[in-house]
Amino acid sequence: MSNSSNVTSLCDSSDRLCVARTYEQEVIVIPVLLLAITLGTLLTLCCLRLCSKKEDHTVLTHSHHHTRQHHSSRQHHSSRQHHSSRRQHHSSRQHLQGIDAPPELNPLEYEDVPMTAQTRKPSTQPVVPSLSTERQQDSFQLITPLPFSFAVKPNSDVTLYRATMDRKAVVLRVLKETANARERQAFLGFARFLSELGPHPCLPALLGVVTVSSPLITVLEELENRDLLAFLWRCRQDHQGVATPCDLTEKRIFTMGGQVASALEYLHSKSCIHGNIGARSVLVGQDLSVKLWGLGPAFRRRTEAGTAGEVEEMEMRKWQAPEVLARRHASHSSDIWSFGVLLYEMVTLGEPPFSRIMAGELLQHLQRGKTLQRPPNCPNSLYSLMKDCCQWRPQDRVPLAEVILKLRSGERTANDTVVLRVPDPLDIERYMREAGYGEAFNYAVL
């Protein structure tokens, strides 16, 4: 007998309540159970997803906590005397002030790392780079300010100190303690950029980074004679009582040029355009070996989408290739042009290039086929190399590998006895004006 006949036999056709009770299981109970099972399944999936996110967050937090515990344990095992020394260093750092110094540039101070040059949206917390050079603040002794005399576009976010670490002279690039998250991220990003470049004998060594406490610090090796431009200025006249040697010969120019070219070749192999080659971006060691610095623009190119128009912000327009002055993209050949200008600086002991031409008129001057004039007493081989580097068309410039070969050949035959001298004393204001700084920026003698 069918269900319909059962209902008819049990209930009167007009009794709807009886019919509903008879179909209660099929019409009410089963749909409700199915709905409950569906809702339960959805809630279970949501809970699993939330638990997965919590687990990932817990792993990251535990990793960060483990790092802090590691450094805390190292501090705990230090002696009381070491702790007292650390407090003295911290106290002295709070009272460090600038001191007088001879007129010279401070290239580490001018590593311009723009705080807005980030292609990704900055997070609320700075991204700490994974560096194997992690240090602590109590690693440094004999902290003193790094002296300077004048600044062009000084970076107020970074202060420089000279110190010792593991009995080695180092330079500390210290970020201001009031820095916000964006400034901290840019500072650490530059440190990570230096770390990723890796070591090279003609690049300043990255010796350590302080990231787990404030202030953030980048530790670099110190080169005793500091920047090459100031060194060239000291070589202009035979100063009495100068402790460090300032003698520069023709052979020494080829040697220094070869070291800079070697560093530049290494950067190019890393797909890195330097973009800031000049005497003030080269550091000089006690043995007169040199290392290429001034990597701010190189870092900027890694963090910005494009390079067109960058020359608007550059202080060294007279060192830039024509395509850069024309607001086109820089290339490895643009660095070769700037290297030719660096050779001119070296042989003239720090004269500004194109001194009779305004920086704003330089591109038009070069379009007429003009080039660097031959300095007095400049050997043919060196001037020929300058011209090969400073060709108007990038494809006509000498390849970097050939530059290195010519420098090595010139080093073997160059004069190593006659010391270069320039009788004219240094005039800072004239230099700033002829170098093109005064056309775009205000400057002050401190």
Provide the CA 337 distance to its chain's centre, in angstroms.
Answer: 22
Q: Does the model's pTM come out above 0.85?
A: no
Q: What is the CATH number of domain 86-221?
A: 3.30.200.20
Reported as half-sphere exposure (CB side, CA atoms, 13 A), residue 234 has a value of: 20
Provide the CA 115 distance to its chain's centre, in angstroms.
Answer: 12
Structure token digits, residue 378: 């400049």
pLDDT digits (tens, 9 = 90+) for 254-313: 999 999 999 999 999 999 999 999 999 999 999 999 999 999 889 988 887 554 445 545
> Over the chain, what HEC string results?
CCHHHHHHHHCCCCCHHHHHHHCHHHHHHHHHHHHHHHHHHHHHHHHHHHHHHHHHHHHHHHHHHHHHHHHHHHHHCCCHHHHHHHHHHHHHHHCCCCCCCCCCCCHHHHCCCCCCCCCCCCCCCCCCCCCCCECCHHHEEEEEECCCCEECCCCCCEEEEEEEECCEEEEEEEECCCCCHHHHHHHHHHHHHHHHHCCCCCCCCEEEEECCCCCCEEEEECCCCCEHHHHHHHCCCCCCCCCCCCCCEHHHHHHHHHHHHHHHHHHHHCCCCCCCCCHHHEEECCCCCEEECCCHHHHHHHHCCCCCCHHHHCCCHHHCCHHHHCCCCCCHHHHHHHHHHHHHHHHCCCCCCCCCCCHHHHHHHHHCCCCCCCCCCCCHHHHHHHHHHCCCCHHHCCCHHHHHHHHHHHHHHCCCCCECCCCCCCCHHHHHHHHCCCCCCCCEEC
Question: How high is the pLDDT of residue 60?
Answer: 37
Question: How high is the pLDDT of residue 303?
Answer: 80
Question: How high is the pLDDT of residue 145?
Answer: 65
CATH topology for 223-446 is: Transferase(Phosphotransferase); domain 1 (1.10.510)
Q: In the chain, which stretches have pLDDT less than 70? A: 1-17, 19-27, 51-155, 237-245, 305-315, 438-446
What is the rounded distance in angstroms from the CA atom of residue 68 to the CA atom of residue 62?
10
What is the rounded distance in angstroms from the CA atom of residue 233 to the CA atom of residue 435?
14
Name 237's Cβ contacts closer than 8 Å, sequence gap at least 6: 421, 422, 423, 425
What is the rounded distance in angstroms from the CA atom of residue 38 to the CA atom of residue 8?
35
Question: How high is the pLDDT of residue 337?
Answer: 98
**Residue boundaries of the structural domains of the chain:** 3-60, 86-221, 223-446
What is the rounded distance in angstroms from the CA atom of residue 331 to the CA atom of residue 321?
10
